[in-house]
Structure 1
């Protein structure tokens, strides 16, 4: 009985983690499209054509406290200084997706 419960638990955990990974991949894939359509004009390859230092590279995100999903979602939603707000143009899910994409790309150094 103990082995059966262990086997069921392991199976459940494997299925759950596979689902979570698939959902994450789908979100960043959607985030890629959103970024291309709404963000790449100013932030091509994680840069910033308006203010060079305020780019989307890992070091800059960390320096300015923008290295969490919540922080990126907040600036995409509400904007700041020259950055436009997207709360009226993107859904909450789209904002979540593009924020996940930005952080993923920052980890990869935008390659």
Structure 2
């Protein structure tokens, strides 16, 4: 029964696609400038749109990962410490993109369902939200 409900939630969530949200170049420049000032490395190759990533996450990931949790494997949450421990490659956007694209264990691969841009955006959202702390 539990798996039937989860399968239904996943099936219904994948029917939705998030609209593309464009971040103005001035905002991107301000973020990059702030990161340099703060001494934080920003990788433009993986810098996705966090707002668009939240929409993709809510439509495709929240069925299993609402509030950064994990309904299948409770110890493998999207909390900062768990991502550092369990995510192959550590807690970074590239590692999240690999996990989302290819799947692993009970997590399905979204590489055929989501665009590379959507995956980059959701990775940015997951990393940013794990840093700030998930709301439950």
Q: TM-score surpassing 0.5?
A: yes
What are the Cα deviations for residues 24-57 of structure 1, in whole angstroms up to 9, with x where unaligned? Answer: x981110010000000000000000110111100
* Alignment match, 1:18: 30
> More helix per residue: 1 or 2?
1
Equivalence for 2:78: 56
> Could you list the runs of 5+ residues in structure 2 that have no partner in the other structure?
1-25, 34-46
Size of the aligned set, in residue pairs, is 97
Distance 2:49 2:27 in 1: 18
Rounded Cα–Cα distance in structure 1 between residues aligned with 2:48 and 2:120: 12
TM-score using structure 1 length: 0.77
In 2 relative to 1, CA 88–26 (structure 1 residues): closer, same or farther, beyond 3 Å? closer
Q: How high is the TM-score relative to the length of structure 2?
A: 0.64
Residues 50-75 of structure 1 show CA distances to partners (whole Å, capped at 9, x for unaligned) of: 10111100010011244011110000
* Aligned twin of 2:126: 102
Give the aligned CA root-mean-square deviation in angstroms: 2.7
Q: Give structure 1 regions of 4+ aligned residues with deviation exceeding 6 angstroms.
A: none
Structure 1 runs not aligned, ≥5 long? 1-13
Distance apart, 1:15 and its partner CA: 8.6
Deviation at 1:109, TM superposition (A): 1.2
